[in-house]
Amino acid sequence: MSQAAVVTRLALFELWISYRLLIVLAAYVTAGAIVALLPVPLHPTLEQLAAGIAVATLIGGVIAAGSISAERGLGRAGWLVTRAVPRGTIILGWFVALAAVSLAGLLAAAVLGWLAVAQAVPRPDPAAFAAILAGAAAGSLAFLAIGLLIGVTLPVRQAALGAATAGVAIGAAAWAVAPAAMPLATLSRLPELERPISTGLQGAGIGLVLAGAALVLARLALRRADL
């Protein structure tokens, strides 16, 4: 078994026993369950789903920041390094673990959301709906990576607060500068979008680039951090 797989399993176990895994899953599932159980017209349903996923994404990033910071503060990251586990592998393992949990939760939210909007008239295009949520998934991965970057530089409480502040600031800035490139911002206008699949794919590309850049910076920051 590779070192990355071992770190991922340890991260999943830590998330499980600390209930953080359940918190992330519950945040996404709640976003989908609300729109599935409270039938309203199409536009409010899509707006509620987008808002719920945005909140769940923020929660995921905060937990990412707090988790990796706690690993440093409690010495567990240092213990792994003394066992010849590269510092970059620790970042990668935690990212994979958090991404798996977040994507599982987002998939559940997407299924529940589709059950709600599929009954609307006019019915949204399922391919367009999937593309927009794929862009949202990439955005959630990007914020997980940003959370890890913040967590390797700050103590636990400051890291969690910093991630929450960063999430709100990034969302507000993106909304002000380029709302058309934000998949969640366009979800509520899904029936009116001329090229929803292109919008979703564009958002996915931006999210993945941001995730990759944040992970590289997090790995560099962890090399300089005290463990």
According to the 3-state scheme, what is the secondary structure of the chain? Answer: CCHHHHHHHHHHHHHHHCCHHHHHHHHHHHHHHHHHHCCCCHHHHHHHHHHHHHHHHHHHHHHHHHHHHHHHHCCHHHHHHHCCCCHHHHHHHHHHHHHHHHHHHHHHHHHHHHHHHCCCCCCCCHHHHHHHHHHHHHHHHHHHHHHHHHHCCCCHHHHHHHHHHHHHHHHHHHHHHCHHHCHHHHHCCHHHCCCHHHHHHHHHHHHHHHHHHHHHHHHHHHHHCCC
pLDDT given for residue 107 in this prediction: 96
Q: Tell me what pLDDT residue 176 has.
A: 73
- Count of domains in the chain? 1
Give residue 37's pLDDT.
83
pLDDT for 140 equals 95
Question: How many Cβ atoms from other residues are within 10 Å of residue 157's Cβ?
Answer: 10
Give the pLDDT of residue 180: 65
Instruction: Spell 103-139 as b/e; 16+ CB within 10 A means b.
Output: eebbebbbebbbebbeebeeebeeebbebbbbbbbbb
Residue 181's domain comprises: 3-224
**pTM metric for this prediction:** 0.92
Residues of the chain with pLDDT under 70: 1, 39-40, 120-121, 178-181, 227
pLDDT for res 166? 92
- Which pLDDT does position 158 carry in this prediction? 95
Question: What dihedral do alpha carbons 164, 169, 170, 172 form, nearest 10°?
Answer: 130
Distance CA 157, CA 56 (A): 19
Structural tokens at position 166: 């960063």
Q: What are 158-193's pLDDT values in tens digits?
A: 999 999 999 999 888 877 776 666 788 788 778 777
